[in-house]
């Protein structure tokens, strides 16, 4: 492969017409490096798989080439809300795009069919099951189908976290459309999923493109859970008037936490699969329309949420695996502006998940499912990875990337965007000694007790159980009495997370030492323990996105009041047009306006994210708002 020319390059470049389309239609002056490669592959009619994190700019990779090549590009997408969003956005940019879904009236569908017959569309969004309906592909070919793009392609793989049986049918595509280029897109990066996608779709010598998985604009923090409502309130205090999602494990947790937060004056709504569909729809709509900023939810609130200015994602308990964590936190900061992800966890989460996983494996086995044993091992392994991530003290960006098989280049002073590198987690000065005390206490009590009792022994508690067991006579009794129960408990969890202590399978979460734990206890292996400290939240008057964008593009700092005024205008326009506000302009574009304060249509057109159609449609209103603001 020859290296592509620099973005934005040179005369005679085959990409030149493409860059022109990108500039005029979407208002971007240059392509990101993998976009360049993906679009080349699309234009050359090659199969491809592009793996890029959320917010990386995958959609442009099939949208822009679709405008340039003759005929129709079909985009397969798993959710109607995702299709609706993209179609709305494309139409705002003046692109002839449509979708065919079961949610449409038959008259609407007929209209789309007519457009197809006339060859009036460049992009058509459909669900996998519709695409594979008998005869449909053949008709599309009759309408000049020139390529198929498959979004959220990991849905085809059992190994992914979001397998959808309808996606499996896409395996037939290659046979039914032997000559058609197929391009697949996903944000899920494990090697196994990647290979599975290519195999399931029978991609032919696909151009494999894997972007970096790091999301440098996200700041990760992981803290032991104490008083969750207060802890979440602490996060919210850093994000006044900003959008965010708080994930809880169970519906009852959602109800409880959202009630508690409301009692504390937080405007938020609960969301989980047990609520009335009408209420769920209302909440989702209000969130998309920027009428509501905080949603407390189970993971049922997720895939259809495309709001790009989500500034924080909180997890109230441990997610099921690193893939899930990465997917769920990935909903923050899709616009590339800074966002924060905070995970609160406790040892109970680990056991809760394990019980659940084992329970469903037993059910699967009883139901005669093959591979139930392997699936169980797999699920337990994932769980232990995410537990290690939470309790470990490796740079979070690094740990996440390593999980997906990517090594981040080391940076002096760390990543600057996680609790570990920001020095919010303090190393316990005599961590080795503390670890030895904990481990020998586990041994002295016969490796027959759970974390609660071991903590009590170490702290010298006078409990009924202590009298019964006689553990108050042990040499390890009261060895850590000067430390709080939470602290001791956190150290036990860290030792579990680092693999030095193990938790027995079975009814009781009994602690016992691993081989490495024995070595640590004997002083033959080094170990570090950490005392988490709470991040500072005071003194952040300016909102994070506004602050960051000032430094980012070498622009003067955006005027916060003007930015707020432009957001308001955007909301009014969005309401009139019946689309979500970010479809009108995203925050980045508004921030750029608030910093550059364009005065003429030409200056306005030069704003990143403003294409020809939007400049004509929206320029006058926004220019007027900027002018008025200047006079106020
Ligand atoms: P993904 O589908 O990978 O999650 P999107 O396609 O939604 O990402 O793009 C994320 C954001 O990046 C969008 O706001 C989009 O407008 C913006 N974007 C995409 N490509 C470019 C580019 N070349 N220059 C500037 N912004 C871009
Ligand atoms: Zn870091």
Following CA atoms 429, 434, 435, 438 in sequence, which dihedral angle do they give, to the nearest 10 degrees?
-160
* HEC-encoded secondary structure of 468-487: HHCHHHCCCCCCCCCCCHHH
Centroid of chain to Cα 252: 23
If we measure between CA atoms, which residue out of 550, 570, 571 comes closest to residue 560? 550
pLDDT value at 13 more than 50:
yes
pLDDT value at 4 more than 50:
no
- Ligand 1 atom at minimal distance to the Cα of residue 608: 25
Residue 543 has a pLDDT of: 63
State what percent of residues in the chain have pLDDT above 70. Answer: 93
* d(CA 321, ligand 1 centre) in Å: 27
Average pLDDT over residues 412-418: 86
Instruction: Please state the length of the chain.
Output: 632
Two tokens at 204? 């032919």
Two tokens at 235? 């996060």
Q: Name the residue with higher pLDDT: 502 or 545.
A: 502
Residues with CB under 5 A from ligand 2 (ion): 395, 397, 414-415, 418, 421
* d(CA 334, ligand 2 centre) in Å: 20
Closest ligand to C-alpha of residue 18 is: 1
Residue 405 has a pLDDT of: 84
* d(CA 397, ligand 2 centre) in Å: 5
Confidence bin at 545 (pLDDT 50/70/90):
low
* d(CA 411, ligand 2 centre) in Å: 9
pLDDT value at 550 more than 50:
yes
- Whether 298 contacts 250, CB under 8 Å: yes
* HEC-encoded secondary structure of 104-148: CCHHHHHHHHHHHHHCCCCEEEECHHHHCCCCHHHHHHHCCEEEE
Average pLDDT over residues 555-566: 85
| Residue pLDDT, tens place only, 320-376 | 999 889 989 999 998 889 999 999 998 788 888 888 888 888 888 888 887 888 888
Ligand 1 atom 26: the closest Cα is on which residue? 28
Residue 1 has a pLDDT of: 38
Q: Which residues line ligand 1 (CB under 6 A)?
A: 28, 31-32, 35, 52, 54-60, 308, 334-335, 586
pLDDT value at 396 more than 90:
yes
Closest ligand to C-alpha of residue 394 is: 2
Average pLDDT over residues 380-407: 88
| pTM of the model as a whole | 0.79
| Residue pLDDT, tens place only, 17-50 | 999 999 999 999 889 889 999 999 999 999 999 9
Average pLDDT over residues 386-399: 88
What's the DSSP call for residue 14? Answer: T
* d(CA 395, ligand 2 centre) in Å: 4
CB burial of 66-79 (b: ≥16 within 10 Å; e: otherwise) equals bbbbeebbbbbbbb
pLDDT value at 118 more than 80:
yes
Give dist(CA 594, CA 337) in Å, integer.
15
Confidence bin at 506 (pLDDT 50/70/90):
confident
Residue 61 has a pLDDT of: 97
Confidence bin at 544 (pLDDT 50/70/90):
low
pLDDT value at 554 more than 70:
no
pLDDT value at 151 more than 70:
yes
Average pLDDT over residues 408-413: 79
Residue 553 has a pLDDT of: 60
Residue 499 has a CB neighbour count (10 Å cut-off) of 15
Confidence bin at 189 (pLDDT 50/70/90):
low
Give 511-554 as a DSSP string: EEE-HHHHHHHTTSS----EEE-PPP-TT--S-HHHHHHHHHTT
> Scanning the structure block, which residue is given the tokens 């920027």?
290
Residue 540 has a pLDDT of: 47
- Whether 458 contacts 527, CB under 8 Å: no
Q: How far is CA 576 from CA 89, 215, 360, 614, in A?
A: 15, 34, 48, 15
423: left (phi over 0), alpha (psi -120 to 50) or beta: left
């Amino acid at each position: 492969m020859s290296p592509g020319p620099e973005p934005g390059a040179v005369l005679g470049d085959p990409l030149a017409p493409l860059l022109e389309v990108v500039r005029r239609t979407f208002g971007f002056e240059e392509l990101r490096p993998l976009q360049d490669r993906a679009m080349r592959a699309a234009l050359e009619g090659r199969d491809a798989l592009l793996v890029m994190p959320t917010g990386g700019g995958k959609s442009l990779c099939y949208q822009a080439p679709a405008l340039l090549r003759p005929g129709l590009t079909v985009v397969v997408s798993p959710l109607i809300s995702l299709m609706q969003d993209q179609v709305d956005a494309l139409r705002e940019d003046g692109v002839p795009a449509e979708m065919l879904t079961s949610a449409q009236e038959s008259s609407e569908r007929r209209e789309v069919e007519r457009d197809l017959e006339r060859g009036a569309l460049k992009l058509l969004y459909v669900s996998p099951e519709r695409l594979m309906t008998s005869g449909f592909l053949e008709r599309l070919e009759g309408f000049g189908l020139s390529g198929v793009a498959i979004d959220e392609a990991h849905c085809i793989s059992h190994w992914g976290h979001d397998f959808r049986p309808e996606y499996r049918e896409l395996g037939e595509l290659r046979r039914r459309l032997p000559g058609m280029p197929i391009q697949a897109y996903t944000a899920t990066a494990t090697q196994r999923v990647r290979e599975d996608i290519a195999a399931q779709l029978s991609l032919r010598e696909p151009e494999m493109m894997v972007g970096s998985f790091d999301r440098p604009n996200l700041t990760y923090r992981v803290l032991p859970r104490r008083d969750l409502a207060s802890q979440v309130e602490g996060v919210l205090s850093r994000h006044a008037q900003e959008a965010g999602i708080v994930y809880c494990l169970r519906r009852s947790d959602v109800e409880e936490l959202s009630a508690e937060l409301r009692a504390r004056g937080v405007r938020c709504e609960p969301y989980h699969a047990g609520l009335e569909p009408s209420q769920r729809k209302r909440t989702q709509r209000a969130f998309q329309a920027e009428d509501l900023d905080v949603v407390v939810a189970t993971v049922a609130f997720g895939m259809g949420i495309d709001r790009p200015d989500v500034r924080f994602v909180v997890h109230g308990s441990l997610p099921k695996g690193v893939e899930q964590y990465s997917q769920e936190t990935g909903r923050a900061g899709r616009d590339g502006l800074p966002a924060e992800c905070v995970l609160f966890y406790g040892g109970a989460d680990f056991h809760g998940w394990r019980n659940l996983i084992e329970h469903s494996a037993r059910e699967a086995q009883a139901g005669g499912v093959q591979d139930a044993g392997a699936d169980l091992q797999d699920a337990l392994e994932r769980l232990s990875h995410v537990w290690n991530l939470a309790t470990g003290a490796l740079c979070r960006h690094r740990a996440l990337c390593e999980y997906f098989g990517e090594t981040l280049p080391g940076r002096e002073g760390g990543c600057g965007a996680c609790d570990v590198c920001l020095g919010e987690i303090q190393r316990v000065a005599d961590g080795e000694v503390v670890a030895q005390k904990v481990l020998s206490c586990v041994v002295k009590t016969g490796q027959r007790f759970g974390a609660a009792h071991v903590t009590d022994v170490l702290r010298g508690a006078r409990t009924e159980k202590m009298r019964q067991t006689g553990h108050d006579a042990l040499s390890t009794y009261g060895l850590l009495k000067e430390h709080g129960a939470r602290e001791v408990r956190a150290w036990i969890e860290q030792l579990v997370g680092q693999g030095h202590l193990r938790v027995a399978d079975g009814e009781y979460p009994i602690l016992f030492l691993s081989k490495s734990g024995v070595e640590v206890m004997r002083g033959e292996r080094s170990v570090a323990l950490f005392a988490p400290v709470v991040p500072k939240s005071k003194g952040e008057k300016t909102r994070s996105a506004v602050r960051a964008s000032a430094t980012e593009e070498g622009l003067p700092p955006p005027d916060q009041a003007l930015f707020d005024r432009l957001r308001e205008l955007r909301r009014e326009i969005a309401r009139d047009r019946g689309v979500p506000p970010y479809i009108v302009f995203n925050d980045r574009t508004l921030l750029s306006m608030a910093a550059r304060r364009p005065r003429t249509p030409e200056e306005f057109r030069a704003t990143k994210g403003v294409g020809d159609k939007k400049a004509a449609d929206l320029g006058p209103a926004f220019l007027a708002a900027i002018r008025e603001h200047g006079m106020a």
